[in-house]
């Protein structure tokens, strides 16, 4: 069998307009409305479907995703320091990082922050040499 690829994933938000703005401004998402009331965010070839108040979803998990209950990682196209600078410029608080992590692309440096509902988001940079720049665990970075 050939390896499978992830097609899309689902997040839930409590305020659609606020989430649209955050994901478009901070993560560069293209916001698409497939049919009235059905949204998705397209980020670097990935699709994130959005469940929101007032929406009726079909075929959901036994425990549907709730706002603030997601944990997503996106590949940052530059260095972890540039990711921190971008988040700071967007008014987003960095909770942890840069931290050495292993992702689908191997070793990298990750920066952690939250969306407006509290879901944990991560930007991982594979441009940094993670082995030469260890950061103490749990330390929050601030831009220089």
Tell me how far CA of residue 143 lies from CA of 15, 25, 108, in angstroms: 30, 19, 18
Rounded Cα gap, residues 74 and 125, in angstroms: 9
Nearest in space to 109 (alpha carbons), one of 73, 68, 71, 72: 73
**Full strand arrangement of the beta sheet holding 120-125:** 71-76, 120-125, 106-114, 96-103
pLDDT tens by residue, the chain, 144 residues: 999 888 999 999 999 999 999 999 999 999 999 888 889 999 999 999 999 998 877 777 778 889 999 999 999 999 999 999 999 999 999 999 999 999 999 999 999 999 999 999 999 999 975 444 444 444 444 443
SS3 percent helix, strand, coil of the chain, rounded to 5, is 15, 35, 45
- Residues annotated as catalytic are 122
Distances (CA, A) of 24 to 72, 84, 144: 15, 17, 26
Full-model pTM = 0.84
CATH superfamily ID and name for 8-132:
2,3-Dihydroxybiphenyl 1,2-Dioxygenase, domain 1 (3.10.180.10)
Confidence at residue 19, expressed as pLDDT on a 0 to 100 scale: 97
The Cα–Cα gap between 63 and 4 comes to 24
Query: What confidence score (pLDDT) does residue 58 get?
Result: 78
CA distance 66 to 63: 9
CA separation for the pair 98, 112 (Å, rounded):
8
Residue 33, beta-bridge partner list: 39
């Amino acid at each position: 069998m050939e390896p499978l690829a992830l097609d899309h994933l689902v997040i839930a938000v409590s305020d659609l307009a606020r989430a649209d703005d955050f994901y478009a401004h901070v993560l560069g998402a293209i916001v698409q409305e497939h049919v009235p009331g059905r949204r998705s965010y397209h980020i670097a070839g990935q699709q994130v479907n959005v469940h929101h108040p007032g929406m009726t979803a079909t075929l959901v998990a036994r425990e549907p995703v709730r706002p603030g209950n997601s944990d997503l990682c996106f590949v940052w196209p530059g260095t972890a320091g540039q990711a921190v600078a971008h988040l700071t410029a967007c008014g987003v608080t960095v909770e942890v990082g840069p931290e050495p992590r292993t992702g689908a692309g191997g070793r990298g440096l990750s920066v952690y922050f939250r969306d407006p509902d509290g879901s944990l988001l991560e930007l991982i940079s594979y441009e940094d040499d993670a082995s030469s720049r260890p950061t103490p665990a749990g330390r929050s970075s601030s831009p220089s």
